[in-house]
Amino acid sequence: MDDTFLIPTDRGRLFARHWYGERNDETLAPVVLFHDSLGCVALWRDFPAQLATATRRRVIAYDRLGFGQSDAYPGILDGQFMAQEAQYALPALARHLGFSRFVAFGHSVGGAMATHCAGAFPDQCEALITESTQAFVEDRTVVGILSAKTSFAKDGQLARLAKYHGDKAGWVLHAWIDTWLAPSFASWQLDPALALVQCHMLAIHGDEDEFGTTRHAERISTQSAGPSTVWLIPGCGHVPHREMPWQIASAVARFLDRTSAAA
């Protein structure tokens, strides 16, 4: 079972979708997915449905403003763009889709946004999962983005993004590249947001991640104020939920079962 929504906010409409597993438990808090820098709901592919089945929870994904089927972003991104999801997007989702408690799960930069949401709503966030999330600007991150910039400059490559983002594809690409390569962003760190996280946290990271070493997961774990677990995956790249979806979904389900039992 799945449904799609267009959710109004004072900045524009958000496209969202939710999934239920066959054995869904309505008493459990839903999992809210936060996508990466080039992502959108469609690019989660089958993972949300697999996660819903494994966790027995409703799973919610949405396109950030400027991405996928959501409205265009009003302006250009600034250094506070990760925190903004906790200020307008998550409250709008909660009001429209009728939830108060939630589990935050973010991939790549989406993990930073999930972290901000967990810290902003400590009484409502039951658990935080970060996957391949950057906690600072690392040399490998910059090298990976520069390599991607070169690849997307080739003929036809932008069309890959346009398939998912339409005429917003150019903005999506430049929002990622220009933000992360800006000299003013070089000193960015996730530490202040992590210090506000009180819930149980699982940091997932592949040791072959082309956009960041395992130092990120270790930093996320040590800087989080709540109980934390690190799962380093040998031979895995930047998108574990695509490389090994059922293993990720099952591990998240076990983690949430443990945190619920500990509560």
The structural domain count of the chain equals: 1
Q: What is the pLDDT of residues 190-224, one digit of tens each?
A: 999 999 999 999 999 999 999 999 999 999 999 99
pLDDT surpassing 70 at residue 161: yes
pLDDT of residue 156: 87
Q: How far lies 117's CA from each of 59, 124, 164, in Å?
A: 16, 10, 25
pLDDT at residue 78 above 90? no
Which residue, chain included where needed, has tokens 């996508």? 35
| Cα angle for residues 213, 130, 93 (degrees, 5° grid) | 145
Examine the pLDDT at 75 and tell me if it is beyond 90: no
Asked if the model's pLDDT at residue 77 lies above 90, the reply is no
Domain holding 133, by residue range, is 2-262
What confidence category does residue 2 fall into, taking pLDDT thresholds of 50, 70 and 90?
low
- Inter-CA distances, 6 with 63, 97, 119, 157, Å: 10, 11, 26, 29
- Is the pLDDT at 21 greater than 60? The verdict is yes
Half-sphere exposure of residue 140: CA atoms within 13 angstroms, side-chain side: 17
Tell me the residue type at 56. Answer: R
Query: In CATH, what number is assigned to the domain containing residue 188?
Result: 3.40.50.1820
d(CA 201, CA 206): 17
- CB distance 249 to 54 below 8 Å: yes
Q: Are strands 59-62 and 31-34 parallel, antiparallel or unpaired?
A: parallel
Whole-number average pLDDT of the chain: 95
Q: Please check the confidence at residue 140 and state whether its pLDDT lies above 90.
A: yes
pLDDT at residue 167, rounded to an integer: 96
pLDDT of residue 157: 87
Q: What are the φ and ψ backbone dihedral angles of 92, each rounded to 5 degrees?
A: -65, -40
Mean pLDDT computed over 132-154: 95
